[in-house]
Amino acid sequence: MKDPKIYGHWPYRDRPKVTWPGDKKLAFWVAPNIEYYELHPPKNPHRSPWARPNPDIVGYAYRDHGNRVGNWRLIEAMEKYNIPGTVSLSVAMCDHFPEMIDTVNDLGWEFFSHGVYNTRYAYGMDRAQERQMLQYTIDRIKAQTGQQTRGYLAPALTHTIHTIELLAELGFTYSCDLFQDDQPQPLNVPGNPLVSMPYSLEVNDHYAFNVFGMSPQQYTDILKRQFDTLLEEGGTSGTVMCIPIHAYLVGRSHRISPFEEILRYADEHKDDIWITRAGDIADHYLANHYDDARTHIAQFGGSDAA
């Protein structure tokens, strides 16, 4: 297979104009990952969860810091600047740390499904197994928070060839799994309308700190540049900026204060941007821009070879 053909080719030129509520040019969302990594996960035949044999306490403790310490610093920082989170949730957290989930829910943050545990991968699952896992996450979030979850990001970004089509079948409205665009894009799957929602690898704190080795200040600098560029382009057609973060990274004592600077920067621009949650972006897009986008994209055809 050369191309999964999930979406059509769509040049970033002369696109139909997207506007966000209040005529805003940039939809800005922050995605805290609230995750659970198991101490003794079963080993997926395609990928090993830990670098060392179980128990890998160095790796495990590194993540656990987020749930003991970092999440609380992050929640305080976001609340300080009135930025609601859209949480990428390992739904096992509903069982392991229910009070944390209830606290976040009471703040008005949205939850989307990030699988059950971040140590359980979709690799090797057949369609029925993946469907069962996805449905479980919908049900668990609903039972704990009352929210009908609409979004998905695969645990540890592990997919199968069925993933996107299953999302549409199960009533999701947005997928954070695809990185091809700075605007939402209608996806070519049967069933309910489904869009790709700009999330990010490049300005994801995991990439910034662990891949590029950035200092906390450098991360804030790139976030500001990301923001400035997408806001300017948003005047032509509304863009989406997402800041994906992990409390065990950005919630560290040497990183949280520099990170607050970008939250403050967004708050300072609140008259120009829509500070919002991903589900709200998807709802607005589906109601106002989905059909025009489909029509526009159809003209760009491209090779049909699969």
Partner 1 sequence: MPLDPNFLRYPMLRKGMDHDLYPAANMFEQPKVSWPDGKSVALMVTVAVEFFPLTPNDGPFRAAGHMATPFPDFRTFTARDYGNRIAIYRIMDALAAANIPATAFVSSALIDRTPKLVQDIQSTGWEIAAHGEDMNNIHYGDMPLDVEQRQIEACLSAWSDYGVTPKGWMSPGRGQSEDTLSLLKRAGIEWTADWGNDDMPYAMNDGPVAMPYTDEMEDRKCITILGQNEEVWSQQVIGAADLLAKEAQSHGGRILHLALTPYIIGQPFRIKFLRDLLTELAGRDDLWCATASEIYTTWQEQMA
Instruction: Quote the CA–CA distance of 140 and 49 in Å, as a whole number.
Output: 23
The letter for the amino acid at 263 is L
From the list 19, 48, 54, 147, which residue makes contact with partner 1 (rule: CB under 8 A)? 54
The helix (run of H) or strand (run of E) holding residue 32 is strand 26-34
Of 4, 21, 55, 235, the one binding partner 1 by CB under 8 A: 55
- The residue type of 125 is M
Binding status of residue 57 toward partner 1 by CB under 8 A: yes
Judge whether 61 and 274 are in contact, CB under 8 Å: no
Q: Does 209 bind partner 1 (CB under 8 A)?
A: yes
Helices (H), 81-196: 93-96, 98-106, 127-145, 163-169
Cis ω on the peptide bond leading into residue 42 (within 30° of 0)? no
Q: Which of residues 98-137 bind partner 1 (CB under 8 A)?
A: 98, 100, 116-117, 120, 124-126, 128-129, 132-133
The verdict on 222 binding partner 1 (CB under 8 A) reads no
In the complex with partner 1, the residue whose CB is nearer, 16 or 98, is: 98
Binding of partner 1 at residue 166 (CB under 8 A)?
A: no
Contacts (CB under 8 A) with partner 1, residues 11-50: 36, 38-40, 42, 44-45
H or E element that contains 242: strand 239-246
Q: Near partner 1 by CB under 8 A, which window of 88-96, 198-206, 265-273, 293-301?
A: 88-96
* Stretch binding partner 1 (CB under 8 A), from 141-149, 237-245, 253-261, 297-305: 253-261
Q: Which of 216, 234, 244, 279 binds partner 1 (CB under 8 A)?
A: 216
Minimum CB–partner distance for residue 217 and partner 1 (Å)? 8
Q: What torsion do the CA atoms of 207, 32, 279, 241 make, to the nearest 10 degrees?
A: -40
Write down the least CB distance from residue 198 to partner 1, Å: 27
Q: How far apart are CA 184 and CA 238, in angstroms?
A: 10
DSSP secondary-structure letter at 176?
Answer: S
Residues 24/26/243/94 CA torsion (nearest 10 deg): 40
CB 189 within 8 A of CB 5: no
Q: Give 199 or 248: the residue with its C-beta nearer to partner 1.
A: 248
The least distance separating partner 1 from the CB of residue 160, rounded to whole angstroms, comes to 10
**Rg, C-alpha atoms of the chain:** 19
Candidate residues 5, 15, 97, 207; the one interacting with partner 1 per rule CB under 8 A: 97
Binder among 253, 299, 304, 305 for partner 1 (CB under 8 A): 253
Binder to partner 1 among 12, 17, 58, 142 (CB under 8 A)? 58
- Structure-block tokens of residue 67: 């749930």
Our CB check for partner 1 shows the closer of 245 and 273 to be: 245
* Tokens describing residue 295: 């029509």
Measured in residues, the chain has a length of 306
Binding site for partner 1 (CB under 8 A): 36, 38-40, 42, 44-45, 51-58, 60-65, 67-69, 72, 92, 95-98, 100, 116-117, 120, 124-126, 128-129, 132-133, 209-210, 213, 215-217, 252-258
